[in-house]
């Protein structure tokens, strides 16, 4: 049975110490989280002992670093590349931070409403994972199966959203689960190359599986949940994905048969990722 969060949890509730630029903040947090996970990786079990991290000195250092988000001026994120890199890195950090803070052992599904229940204070505003993904990076589009957008018409956080949407963000946002993409640190100056690499890695590592002999294609559930982000109809979505396949013959086959391919979706593995 999942646990219920009856009150949202602020993850960075201590005093900021300052001295770090906004552009570097999220990337430093991501590197700090990487060091934490590496320190608590158990070679015998092949898992990260998230439940043991919370009492460590390394975790306390990470908390102190995250407190600096409170003093950040989000208006300094002027360029599109700055915004995307900052918010992607921050999303990937806050999810794992939430896993540690809540003592989750196997899956984020252990806590009902996890993606809205933990949040950071950033520059005087509150941001939970859903705020970052759907409100900021998806240009305030509705989350899957939701009737409402994350931000209302007068929400000041609309000033920070990224528009138009770049669908490749789905290849680098990590929800803490085994079916998620590989986690990396993203940089504004090399963001376009990093997005392309992430897209190719996700598509060719099982996110898209083509069976030409039976005119079938199997896709990650991400392409069902966020279908409209990838194209106005299924043929447009398949053509979008085809460009990232390594094999030229597969790319050509999808383009030629996009209207007739039978599409299925893979089960999503919500167990905690360990990389």
| Per-residue confidence in pLDDT tens, the chain, 275 aa | 678 787 899 999 999 987 788 778 888 998 898 888 888 888 887 778 888 898 899 999 999 999 999 999 999 998 999 999 999 999 999 999 999 999 888 888 899 899 999 999 999 999 999 999 999 999 999 999 999 999 999 999 999 999 999 999 999 988 655 545 565 788 999 999 999 999 999 999 999 999 999 999 999 999 999 999 999 999 999 999 999 999 999 999 999 999 999 999 999 988 876 55
- Note the pLDDT of residue 50: 83
Whether the predicted model's global pTM rises above the 0.85 cut:
yes
What pLDDT is recorded for position 175? 67
Helix (H, G, I), strand (E, B) or coil at 219: strand
Instruction: Classify strands 41-42 and 47-48 as parallel, antiparallel or unpaired.
Output: antiparallel
Give the per-residue pLDDT at 119. Answer: 97
Q: Calculate Rg over the CA atoms of the chain.
A: 19
Pairing of strands 262-265, 216-219: parallel
Rounded CA separation 51/47 (Å)? 11
Which run of H or of E encompasses 141?
Answer: none
Residues 6+ apart with CB under 8 A from 42: 48, 49
CA 228, 231, 234: angle at the middle one, nearest 5? 90
How many other C-beta atoms can be found within 10 angstroms of the C-beta atom of residue 202?
A: 22
Put residue 46 in one of left, alpha, beta given phi > 0 → left and psi -120 to 50 → alpha: left
Q: Enumerate residues 6+ apart whose C-beta is below 8 A from 60.
A: none
Look at residue 47 in the predicted model and tell me its pLDDT.
Answer: 79
Length of the chain: 275
Helix (H) or strand (E) holding 262: strand 262-265
SS3 state at 55: coil
């Amino acid at each position: 049975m999942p646990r219920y969060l009856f009150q949202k949890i602020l993850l960075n509730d201590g005093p900021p110490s300052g001295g770090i630029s906004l552009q570097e903040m999220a990337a430093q947090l991501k590197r700090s989280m990487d060091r934490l996970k590496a320190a608590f990786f158990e070679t015998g079990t092949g898992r990260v002992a998230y439940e043991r991290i919370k009492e460590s000195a390394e975790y306390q250092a990470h908390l102190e670093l995250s407190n600096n988000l409170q003093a950040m001026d989000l208006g300094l994120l002027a360029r599109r590349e700055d915004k995307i890199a900052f918010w992607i890195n921050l999303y990937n950090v806050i999810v794992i931070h939430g896993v540690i803070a809540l003592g989750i052992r196997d899956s984020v599904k252990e806590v009902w409403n996890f993606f809205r229940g933990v949040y950071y204070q950033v520059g005087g505003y509150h941001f939970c994972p859903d705020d970052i993904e759907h409100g900021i990076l998806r240009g305030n589009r509705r989350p899957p199966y939701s009737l409402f957008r994350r931000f209302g018409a007068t929400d000041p956080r609309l000033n920070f959203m990224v528009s138009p949407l770049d669908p490749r963000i789905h290849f680098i946002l990590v929800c803490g689960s085994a079916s998620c993409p590989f986690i990396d640190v993203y940089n504004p100056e090399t963001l376009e190359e990093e997005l392309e690499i992430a897209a190719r890695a996700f598509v060719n590592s099982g996110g898209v599986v083509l069976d030409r002999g039976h005119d079938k294609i199997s896709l990650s559930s991400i392409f069902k949940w966020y279908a409209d982000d990838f194209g106005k109809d299924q043929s447009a979505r398949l053509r979008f994905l085809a460009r990232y396949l390594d094999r030229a013959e597969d790319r050509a086959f999808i383009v030629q048969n996009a209207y007739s391919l039978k599409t299925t979706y893979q089960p999503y593995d919500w167990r905690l990722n360990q990389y």
